Each structure stands twice: as structure tokens, then as C-alpha cells.
Amino acid sequence: MEIWINPACSKCRSALSLLDAEQADYTVRRYLEDVPGEDEIRAVLERLNLEPWDITRTQEAVAKELGLKEWPRDAGARDRWITALAEHPKLIQRPIIAADDGTAVVARTEEAVREALARGKS
């Protein structure tokens, strides 16, 4: 499995601690340094079964600068949102765990991390 993290994020550190405690086999991706492209974002959205606005941190300063809260949340605006996430990775909700079974979760809670772990064991 792969986990997208920001090392400064407490929820990311908590997720890593739990993965380590469970002796999980995972790869860390510091997505602010190793920025995912639009195709990677589309792929993770498919795995999450979410839309780009569902994983956007709308409280970030850049989100306010871009006026994201006013952007439409529909199929016609989807690519615009994905481009914004690729150009401003700080907007991507974290951590995201891509499980070995092809799914993914936004792992902001212990329960979500455990769900990803369970998916990896099946």
C-alpha cells in the first residue's frame, strides 16, 4: 500500500504510527514534494470513489485565493478541480492510503487506517 502524507500533519503522523504498530508493508509518498499529476489524481479519486471537491482542503489560503468555495461541483467543473489539486497539492486532503486491493481511503481516523489495513490483507 502507499500513503500520501505531509510530515507536518498530525493525522499523517498518527496514521504512520498505526501502520508501524501493525507492521504494515507500505510506501510513503510526500505528495508536497513528489506531486501527483492530474492522471494520478484521477486514479486515486476513482479508487476513493470520490469527486475532487470531496478531497479538497477548502480552508487553505490558496483555496480562498482561488475562490474554490464558489466553484461548481459538477461533472463540467471536475477537470478544473483536478487541475487545481495538481497545481496546488497542499489542497489535497491527507493522508490518503491506496490499499493493495485497488481501493483507497482518506485516513484521517484510526478506523479509516484500520479499514485500509484490512483491505490489504484480503
Catalytic residue among 9, 18, 35, 77: 9
How much is the pLDDT for 53? 98
Give yes or no: 9 in active site.
Answer: yes
Q: Which three cell numbers stand for residue 34?
A: 513528489
Task: With a cut of 80, say whether residue 121 has pLDDT above it.
Answer: no
pTM tops 0.95, yes or no: no
Task: Kindly report the average pLDDT of the chain as a whole number.
Answer: 95
Query: Which CA distances in Å does 4 have to 9, 71, 91, 100, 106?
Result: 11, 25, 13, 14, 9
The stretch 21-41 carries a mean pLDDT of 97
